[in-house]
Amino acid sequence: MTINSGKTNNHANSNAMAQSLKQTNAMPLASGASAHDISRTNRVATATFALALGLCLLSVVGYAQATHDVAHDARHTFSFPCH
């Protein structure tokens, strides 16, 4: 029976774990490209789109009360009961 100190085994295990993590981090996306292959242009375009969408949502929410007030005043103008 051979007894190992475990030093060599632990080093081999950590190398195997590191290799496994490298393979896991580079999993292919649905398009076939790995996560590391996403171009800077694509990231900038996605961030720009997200920013534009966020600003649109903020402006809609910000003007929601004004829009409601205009519609409410229009109902009164046309003598339509709203209360």
The whole-number pLDDT of residue 66 equals 84
Given pLDDT bands bounded at 50, 70 and 90, which one contains residue 3?
low
Residue 28: what are its φ and ψ, rounded to 5°? Answer: -70, 145
Given pLDDT bands bounded at 50, 70 and 90, which one contains residue 70?
confident
- Distance of alpha carbon 18 from the chain centroid: 27
SS3 of the chain: the string is CCCCCCHHHHHHHHHHHHHHHHHHHCCECCCCCEHHHCCHHHHHHHHHHHHHHHHHHHHHHHCHHHHHHHHHHHHHHCCCCCC
The whole-number pLDDT of residue 50 equals 97
